[in-house]
Chains A and B, each alone.
Chain A
Amino acid sequence: MIRALHRWVGLPALVLVTLLAVSGAALSIFPAAERISAPQAEQAMSVADLAARIKAAFPGVEQIRRSPSGRITAYWFDGGKPASAVVDPATGAATAPADPNPLQRWLTNLHRSLFLDDAGRIAMAAGAAAMLALAVSGSMLVARRAGGWRRWFAPLRGPLAGRVHVELARVAVPGLLLSAATALWMTASTFGLLPDKAAVPELPAASGTIGARLTSMPLLVATPVSSLRELSFPSLEDATDVFTLKTNAGAGYLDQGTGATLGWSGLSGWARVSETIYMLHTGQGAALLGLLLGLSALAVPVMGATGLLIWLANLKGRPTIRDNAAPGRAETVILVGSEGGSTWGFAGTLHAALTRAGQRVHTMPMSAFDPGRFSGARRYLVLAATYGNGDPPASAKGFLDRVAALSTAPEARLAVLGFGDRSFPAFCAYAKAVADAAQDKDWPLLLPFETVDRQSPQEFTRWGHALGAALGVELELDHQPVRPETKALVLVSRRDHGHEVQAPTAILRFALPRPSAWQRLTRRGFAGFEAGDLLGIVPEGSPVPRFYSLASGNRDGFVEIVVRRHPGGICSGELMALEPGGTVAGFIRRNPTFHVARDSAPLILIGAGTGIGPLAGFIRANTARRPIHLFFGMRLPGSDFLYREELEAWAAAGRLSSLSTAVSRGARPRYVQDALAAEQLEVVRAIRKGARVMVCGGRQMAAGVAETMARMLEPLGLSLAVLKAQGRYVEDVY
């Protein structure tokens, strides 16, 4: 919801907000330049002295003004000709012309009204309101992403555009909030919507005499130059005219014959607030703040461009749904819970087939579920994948909470279809949780809970037949999974291990394919991956990709994975048969939860078998030499001690601090969790000091490690759940 607001305010307002920010940044320079160049009055100088000096230099003086920067301008008539100058308060002499700077005037008119007068002012105020909405919604997104307002400056992960966008926002948001809010206030003041009228004292009758000395007028003597706004002299021809003095406290009149104060009116509270807000927005009188606001504004064009990139990249990641009916008019609502985008593909096929059958269909992410919006809905179809161990996929976050919050289930009937892979124990666990939650609410069912294994088109078609029968229409779902955009990867080298222990394993190194210009720009695909990300391989015999943890980053200049042949595995079989020079089709899938954090905290890496792949990548990339402790489990040192030579070299180079191995074959079998327990003291000490734990390997191993770790942490009063919540215990399990 907040993200949608941020996006749909930001995109249309992009040009306007950028224009506001750039012109505002340019304008911020002027107050500082004025402050530096203007000669300042000495402390405690009185308006009487200043006026007398200027009057002596320019007998025809009509008005003296002091700008908030301290610059003093005099306006006078010389032989009937109007003249003006910036004057030096010390001498009363002219130092510079006072004509307004044409560039500043041009920029100001662009900034506040696009040269379009009132219509332009309203447009620019709308721009400021958009900026305010973006700053507020953006801050909430940053806080949410970082895990709370206290973690505002927490380090970030992910693609470059997103990082730049957020890093700039963190610094610039306070300035932008101030600029936008004060801009709206100033617009309201300009349109007379605020009661901040200037002070006007009642004018009593003047004495009608002339000739009082400026230096003997009590009010002028008592007023320091620092509080002066302007002093207007009486007309020379009119003896009943008066001096008008405006200061930062109010306005009053002085008799030109007696020098007496004739009336005084203080500034209203509203007027004072408006003046302060004017100063905050323009930097007039607060030049340094003005420059800071200008710098903040300079971040806006960059945030606009990166925001656009983020949006375009997300757009590319999911198929466009054609003929998406308005939510209020839809009979069928398809809710999609997808992590990598493949479930969106199924939803697209279902959407198209139902639309062809004459239905009005609305397709949307599960996370945006809100039954109030679907007044005409007759049925909800939930297509949900599962992330990790039964967690919701990215586009379904918060769905279960929303269902739980319903007082009664919608009348529209429900069908839940889970997508998953039966080789995982948590097969379709999230979709099942959705079905269970619906049952708890007595949500009427259209179809019983069903699943689709490994994107099987046959199972999907079968479910489509059942759905068609329930709706009374002929429904033929012919889904060809959208093949991800792959690159041909050429195998450069392979190192084989594990034949002796009947676990053929290979370290495969591919040449780094040339990324497209788009990918280079957005740091996506092969232009921006690191160890811990996933390499998707699409085997020849199946359209469904298999994923392998990467043991290298793009900076290493190659793509490396560790593969073990599974009996009957199509993909691992194909990879293990690959000889240098051969190719496979692959693509990058980011896996930011299993990245090394960008800090210097020590790492405890735990892996067994092929699980060493990403861990080796982390160590290889550890040029900053943070302490890394590796726990590695193998079967037999002579056979499957993967990366043995490299680990020795890395240890010598300071990239690896210590290595503990566990060997599971032999007289005394030991597993990696046993090695961990043997080093309990060291491990506990490191975790106390803030070390992060990263575990990679098979499910059984991960469970064993977790159990051991929990036992070790208990005396510390720490639990694995706490460490996981803090991102200090992460697993990549298969």
Chain B
Amino acid sequence: MKTILAALALTTALTFPGIAMARPVTLTTTLKDYGGNGAYLAIYVTDPKGAYAGSLWMAGTKSKYYEHLSDWYRATGGNTAEINGITGASVGAGRRLEITLDLADALFDAGYTVHIDAAAEDMRDSPNEIAVPLTAEGAGQSVPGRRYIANFSYGM
């Protein structure tokens, strides 16, 4: 279990000058017991057109393994400046990752989507394991993952 209170300085794409309204959001990711080493998770947001908008969290500290988070890696070119200050340890099988951060109100109900890429050593790469639209209605609803993630939800 991991709780992080990040007064998140999201990248420029996610800041909306003038609309300084933001609310604390908690992202909860629970992993399956997949029987491998700790999983690397990249949590990031895409805009209504599907383009990369910014990163929320990176679980896993060794940048040489980021290429296995293939969608995130392709979108960012593996640029670690994208996750500066929002990086933590990889998440063990069966463990839960809980992050609390401030997200701009403007991101909700506007076509933005939260994605999670996941990978574990010597096991399958699982890009886009989670893709959930950010809506006020969707808050608190649990979404299952495909390979590593048992369920994911965000709550306000």
Contact = CB atoms under 8 A, between A and B. Distances in A.
A100 interface: yes
A200 B67 contact: yes
Nearest to B76: A200
A197 B78 CA distance: 9
Given A192-B62, A244-B70, A198 B122 contact: no
Nearest to A253: B74
A190 B128 contact: no
B37 A235 contact: no
Contact of B124 (A75, A102, A105, A191): A75
A63 interface: yes
The interface centre, meaning the residue of B62, B64, B77 with most chain A CB atoms within 10 A of its CB, is: B64
B124 A232 contact: no
Nearest to A192: B63
A82 interface: yes
A105 B74 contact: no
Q: How large is the interface on B (under 10, 10 to 19, 20 to 34, 35 or more residues)?
A: 20 to 34
Interface residues of A, number: 27
Given A77-B146, A192-B64, A200-B67, A82 B78 contact: no
Interface string B53-73: 000000001111001001001
A190 B78 contact: no
Interface in A199-224: 200, 203
B123 interface: yes
Interface in A66-94: 75, 77, 80, 82, 84
A198 B89 CA distance: 21
B125 A232 contact: yes
A109 interface: yes
A191 B64 CA distance: 8
B85 interface: no
Contacts of B146: 77, 80, 82
Contact of B125 (A63, A109, A196, A235): A63
B64 A189 contact: yes
B147 interface: yes
B21 to A, nearest CB: 32
Contacts of B77: 200
Contact of A105 (B50, B64, B122): B122
Contacts of B63: 192, 197
A62 B128 CA distance: 12
A190 B123 contact: no
B16 to A, nearest CB: 27
A99 B35 CA distance: 9
B140 interface: no
A197 B64 contact: yes
Contacts of A109: 37
A196 to B, nearest CB: 8
Given A100-B122, A203-B74, A235 B128 contact: yes
B36 interface: yes
A84 B123 CA distance: 9
B36 A105 contact: yes
The interface centre, meaning the residue of B37, B63, B74 with most chain A CB atoms within 10 A of its CB, is: B74
A626 B82 CA distance: 78
A189 B65 CA distance: 11
Nearest to A271: B64
Contact of A190 (B62, B89, B122): B62
A200 B78 contact: yes
A633 B147 CA distance: 91
Interface string B123-153: 1111010000000000000000011000000
Interface string B5-46: 000000000000000000000000000000111000000000
B37 A198 contact: no
A198 B76 CA distance: 13
Contacts of B122: 100, 105
Contacts of A189: 64
Contacts of A63: 124-125
Contacts of A232: 70, 125
A191 B63 CA distance: 8
Contacts of B121: 100
A63 B61 CA distance: 25
A82 to B, nearest CB: 4
B100 to A, nearest CB: 24
A189 B62 CA distance: 9
13 contacts: A63-B124, A77-B146, A82-B124, A82-B126, A82-B147, A99-B35, A100-B123, A105-B122, A192-B63, A196-B64, A200-B67, A203-B74, A244-B74
Given A198-B67, A244-B74, 10 more contacts: A62-B124, A77-B146, A84-B123, A100-B35, A105-B37, A190-B64, A192-B62, A198-B78, A200-B74, A200-B78
* Complex A-B, nearest 7 residue pairs according to Cβ-Cβ distance, in ascending order: A75-B124, A198-B67, A82-B147, A100-B122, A192-B63, A200-B77, A203-B74
